[in-house]
Amino acid sequence: MEALLTLGLLGAALGFGLAVAAEKLKVEADERIKGVHERLPQLDCGACGYPGCEAFAEGVIEGEVKNLSACKPGNNKHYSAIIEYLKDHPNEDGSIIKVSK
Ligand code: SF4
């Protein structure tokens, strides 16, 4: 009986510790990834070399993607919408993420 109680308390303490650590170490995603993602064709085809549109959008926000035409199913409407979105949502220092069509 004591062993079960000890294991239960230990499990509860470890669970609590993990919950606190998860909250403290949580990394907030840049919400602009969602904004770029919404403006992509959302086919998740992988033609851009990324595993899907969300990863491509992350690449845009992180500055890895320099040319939006890497998204083969995309067209001028998609690319222009993303460029406009990036102009309206600059970095914290006021700089704008530069990408070309
Ligand atoms: S090529 Fe375009 S549509 Fe296909 S996964 Fe990449 S971003 Fe999405």
Alpha carbons 43 and 37: distance in angstroms, whole number: 11
CB 36 within 8 A of CB 61: yes
Domain coordinates in residue numbering, the chain: 31-88
Identify any residues that bridge with 100 across adjacent strands, giving them in sequence order: 67
Ligand 1 pocket residue status of 55, Cβ below 6 Å: no
Ligand 1 contacts CB of residue 52 (under 6 A): yes
CATH architecture entry for 31-88? Orthogonal Bundle (1.10)
> Is the beta carbon of 79 within 6 A of some atom in ligand 1?
no
Predicted TM-score (pTM) of this structure: 0.78
Instruction: Identify which of 43, 72, 76 to mutate to test ligand 1's pocket (most ligand atoms within 8 A of the CB).
Output: 43
Q: What is the pLDDT of residue 100?
A: 97
Average pLDDT over residues 47-75: 98
CA of residue 90 to ligand 1 center, whole Å: 23
Residue 99's pLDDT is: 97
- The confidence score (pLDDT) of residue 26 equals 85
Question: What are phi and psi for residue 52, nearest 5 degrees?
Answer: 180, 175
The pLDDT tens digits for 76-94 are 999 999 999 999 999 999 9
Q: Cα of 13 to ligand 1 centre, how many Å?
A: 44
